[in-house]
Structure 1
Amino acid sequence: MIRLENVTYHYNKRVPALDSVSIDIDQGEFVGVIGKNGSGKTTILRHMNGLLLPGEGSVTVKGMDTKDPSSIFKIRQVAGMVFQDPGSQFIGMTVEEDIAFGPENLGLPPGEIRRRVENSLSAVGMTGYNDHTPRTLSGGQKQKVALASVLAMEPEVILFDEVTSMLDPDSRKEVLSLITQLHENGTTIIYVTHCLEELVHADRLIIMEKGRIKHDDNPRLLIGQGNVVNSGLGLPTVMELSRRLLEAGFFEPASFPLSREELRDLLCQLK
Structure 2
Amino acid sequence: MLAYPTIDPVLLSVGPIQLRWYGLMYVIGFAAAYLLVMYQAKLFHWQQMRDRLDDLHLFLILGVVLGGRLGYVLFYNPAYYLAHPLDIPAIWSGGMSFHGGCMGALLAGYLFCRRTELDFWKATDLFIVSAPIGLFFGRLGNFINGELFGRITVVPWGMVFPEGGPLPRHPSQLYEALLEGLVLFILLWTVKAKPWQSPSPSRWPHGTLLALFLGLYGCFRFLVEFVREPDPQIGLIGSIFSMGQLLCLAMIVAAPILWWWRCQRTTKGRAR
TM-score by length of 2: 0.27
Instruction: Tell me which of the two structures has the higher relative contact order, counting C-alpha pairs closer than 8 angstroms and 6 or more residues apart.
Output: 1
TM-score by length of 1: 0.27
